[in-house]
C-alpha cells in the first residue's frame, strides 16, 4: 500500500473513488453574485484553510467532496455573504460529475474540434439535473490525449487553460442557478 503524503488529503468522490490532493491542487470557481464578492486568490486561501482544518486540526486523511464544499461554504458565509447566498446547505448528492478523459476518448486523439461541442453538450446535460456542484475530472489525462502527448508540454498547458476557460464561458451562458460551483481537476 502506498503511504499518503503528509501534505495530501484523500478526496472521496460520489462513486467511491478516492483521489489524493494537496492544498495547492484544489481549484474553486464561484459563479453568480458570489463571484463578485471574492477574488480568486481569496477563495484559494479559504480553500487551503479548509484543507488545513481537515488535515491538521481534525487529523483526517480522507474527506468527501461534499464535506469539503460544505466547510468551505461555511467559511465564506462567515465573511458576510449576501442573504440570498446564505441558504441552508443542500446534501452532497447535488453534485454531478463527468469524466473529461472519457469525453476526449469519444472525440478521438487530436480532435479538439469534436471535443469542445461534446463538452458543451455534457455540461448542458449535467445542468439539467439542477446541481449545486458540477465537477469535471480527468483534466490532465484529457489534455494529454487531445494533444497526443505522453509528457506535459507548453501545448498541454495552453489546451488545459482553453478547456477551463471554455467551461467557465459555457457555464456563464447556460447557468440557471446563482448557487452553482464548477470544479475542474
Three-class DSSP labels, the chain: CCCCCCCEEEEECCCCCEEEEEHHHCCCEECCHHHHHCCHHHHHHHHHHHHHHHHHHCCCCEEEHHHHHHHHHHHHHCCCCCHHHCCCCCCHHHEEEEEHHHHHHHHCCCCHHHHHHHHHHHHHHHHCCCCCEEEEECHHHHHHHHHCCCCCCHHHHHHHHHHHHHHHHHHHHHCCCCCCEEEEC
Q: At residue 5, does pLDDT exceed 80?
A: no
Please state, in angstroms and rounded to a whole number, the distance separating the CA atoms of residues 142 and 156: 10
Contact call for residues 27 and 160 (beta carbons, < 8 A): no
Evaluate if residue 31 carries a pLDDT over 60.
no
> What is the distance between the alpha carbons of residues 99 and 97, in angstroms, rounded to a whole number?
7
Q: Give the least confident one: 49-53, 136-140, 150-154.
A: 49-53
CB-based contacts of 154, cutoff 8 Å, min separation 6: none
Confidence class of residue 49 from pLDDT cuts 50, 70 and 90?
confident
Residue pLDDT, tens place only, 72-89: 877 777 765 443 444 454
Averaged pLDDT score across all residues of the chain: 78
Do the Cβ atoms of 23 and 49 come closer than 8 Å? no
Residue 130: predicted pLDDT: 81
Q: Which comes out higher in pLDDT, residue 145 or 77? A: 145
Q: Are 108 and 145 contacting, i.e. CB atoms less than 8 angstroms apart?
A: no
Calpha distance 185→129 (Å, rounded): 21
Q: What is the mean pLDDT of residues 51-80?
A: 80
pLDDT tens figures, 107-139: 776 667 788 889 999 998 888 888 888 889 999
* pLDDT for 7 beyond 60: yes
Amino acid at each position: 500500500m502506498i503511504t499518503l503524503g503528509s501534505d495530501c488529503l484523500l478526496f472521496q468522490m460520489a462513486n467511491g473513488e478516492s483521489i489524493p490532493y494537496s492544498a495547492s491542487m484544489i481549484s474553486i470557481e464561484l459563479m453568480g453574485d458570489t463571484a463578485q464578492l471574492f477574488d480568486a486568490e481569496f477563495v484559494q486561501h479559504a480553500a487551503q484553510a479548509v484543507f488545513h482544518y481537515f488535515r491538521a486540526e481534525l487529523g483526517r486523511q480522507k474527506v468527501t467532496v461534499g464535506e469539503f464544499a460544505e466547510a468551505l461554504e461555511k467559511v465564506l458565509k462567515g465573511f458576510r455573504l449576501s442573504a440570498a447566498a446564505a441558504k441552508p446547505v443542500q446534501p452532497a448528492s447535488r453534485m454531478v460529475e463527468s469524466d473529461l478523459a472519457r469525453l476526449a476518448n469519444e472525440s478521438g486523439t487530436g480532435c479538439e474540434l469534436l471535443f469542445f461541442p461534446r463538452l458543451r453538450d455534457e455540461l448542458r446535460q449535467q445542468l439539467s439535473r439542477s446541481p449545486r456542484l458540477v465537477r469535471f475530472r480527468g483534466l490532465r489525462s484529457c489534455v494529454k490525449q487531445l494533444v497526443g502527448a505522453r509528457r506535459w508540454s507548453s501545448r498541454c498547458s495552453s489546451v488545459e487553460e482553453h478547456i477551463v476557460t471554455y467551461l467557465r464561458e459555457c457555464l456563464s451562458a447556460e447557468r440557471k442557478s446563482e448557487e452553482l460551483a464548477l470544479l475542474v481537476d
